Amino acid sequence: MTEPKRHHFVPRFYLRRFADEDDRVFVRSRNGRSFVTSTGNVMVRSGLYRIPSQLRTAEATLSKYEESAHRALERIGRGGFPSVGTEERPVLALFVALQFARHFDYLTAFELRYDIEEIAGSLPASLTMMRQYLSELYGFEPRDHEVQAAADFINGYFNMWPNETIEDIQEFRIQTMFEMALNTIAPMLEDMSWSLEVSKQPHLITSDRPAVLWHPSADQDYYQGIGIADAQEIWFVLDPFRMLVLRHSGAEKTRRVGPERVEFVNAHVARHCTRDIVAGQSAKAQLGTVCLASRRPTVRFGRGEIHDQYGVATGEEVIHVWRPIRDVPDDITDPYQP
């Protein structure tokens, strides 16, 4: 059996919901490029889901879930709503959960140790080397505490598993992806309050991070990030007309939204993306007008004291790794001041 060599980390059937009759989409990247291409060439990476020890790909498993999700999205497009108790509800909860768990950044984060080892030549990594690596990754000079936390994280990982191979990492990351989506993220999403926002004009865009966390800007962004549990809203643009919105409370309903809401959503989708934003022909103008910085939201490091459930310091420290939900504008040189 021949295994596919190129794998979508955003499903192709989903991208086709934005494509024209020739299966093409408009793409804009953080590197300044804008182009039109087939959905087969967007958001793919060679061998991303290969599991060498089992000689199969996770994409074969993902396709089973995607078939169900495709049918659910088609029913919503015909006027359905994923209410509690409907067949669509758990199917779409798992589909969105998988987009969180299978994202390119999440999967490649497991290989961070090997990126640093390749640059340094060997591990453990020095503070000088780690500062150089983070400077290139961020596009600005990291603070001393972050350099130390990153070095402790990478070197601690190496000390625990010094003989781990890249193949071990690849197998573990796929196993973790499915377990996290099925057992943790999907149940959380299914229990939230769901709304469907519908635009009169097909002007919504999507990105290479289609599962979007949104929260008002806050100091929390600068030292610990925002996750599913504390995001005010979770967005998933279903097509150029519709967006699924999940909140922790509130009525479940379908509501019409105007161009101001669409503009607001598109702006954050762009800031939230890793590299590419995508639109159909009808939203080409919107794709070109949103602000897209050259620097993407990327992994950050920190450390701090552990407190127990009563807020009492335990005397121990923890290394914290997170990813901001917004990019860093190009005109800002030190975005994470405490």
Burial label, 199 (beta-carbon count in 10 A; 0-12, 13-18, 19+): buried
Express as a percent the part of the chain with pLDDT over 90: 49
> What is the pLDDT confidence band of residue 308, given thresholds at 50, 70 and 90?
confident
pLDDT greater than 90 at residue 171: no
Q: Which residue has the higher pLDDT, 319 or 254?
A: 254
Report the amino acid identity of residue 229: A
pLDDT at position 338: 43
State the average pLDDT over residues 164-175.
72
pLDDT greater than 70 at residue 3: no
pLDDT at position 67: 92
> What is the pLDDT confidence band of residue 305, given thresholds at 50, 70 and 90?
confident
Q: Global pTM? A: 0.87
Q: Which residue has the higher pLDDT, 234 or 176?
A: 234
pLDDT at position 157: 75
Q: Are 227 and 240 in contact (CB under 8 A)?
A: no
Q: Which residue has the higher pLDDT, 227 or 222?
A: 227
Tell me the average pLDDT of the chain.
Answer: 85
Q: Which residue has the higher pLDDT, 138 or 289?
A: 289
pLDDT at position 220: 72
> What is the pLDDT confidence band of residue 242, given thresholds at 50, 70 and 90?
very high
- CA 176 to mean position of chain CA atoms: 15
Kindly list the domain boundaries of the chain, sorted by start residue.
54-275+294-322
pLDDT greater than 90 at residue 196: yes
Report the amino acid identity of residue 263: E
CA distance linking residue 250 with residue 252, whole number of Å: 7
CA distance linking residue 42 with residue 180, whole number of Å: 25
Least confident range of 17-31, 115-129, 182-196, 225-239: 115-129
- Beta-bridged to residue 234, according to DSSP, are 213, 246
pLDDT at position 260: 97
State the average pLDDT over residues 186-210.
96
Q: Which residue has the higher pLDDT, 252 or 2?
A: 252
- Beta-bridged to residue 237, according to DSSP, are 243
State the average pLDDT over residues 303-329.
84
Phi, psi of 254 (to 5 degrees): -100, 135
Q: Which residue has the higher pLDDT, 209 or 154?
A: 209
- CA 130 to mean position of chain CA atoms: 24
Q: Which residues contact 158 (CB under 8 A, 6 or more apart)?
A: 113, 117, 123, 124
Give pLDDT tens digits for 53-77.
444 556 677 778 899 999 999 999 9
pLDDT at position 194: 98
- 3-state SS of 105-160 is HHHHHCCHHHHHHHHHCCCCCCHHHHHHHHHHHHCCCCCHHHHHHHHHHHHHHHHH
Q: Are 102 and 133 in contact (CB under 8 A)?
A: no
pLDDT greater than 90 at residue 326: no
Tokens for 124, please give them: 């453990």
pLDDT at position 119: 67
pLDDT at position 55: 42
State the average pLDDT over residues 235-248.
97
State the average pLDDT over residues 176-203.
94
pLDDT greater than 90 at residue 33: yes
Give pLDDT tens digits for 97-116.
999 987 756 655 556 666 77
CA distance linking residue 279 with residue 298, whole number of Å: 23
pLDDT greater than 80 at residue 174: no
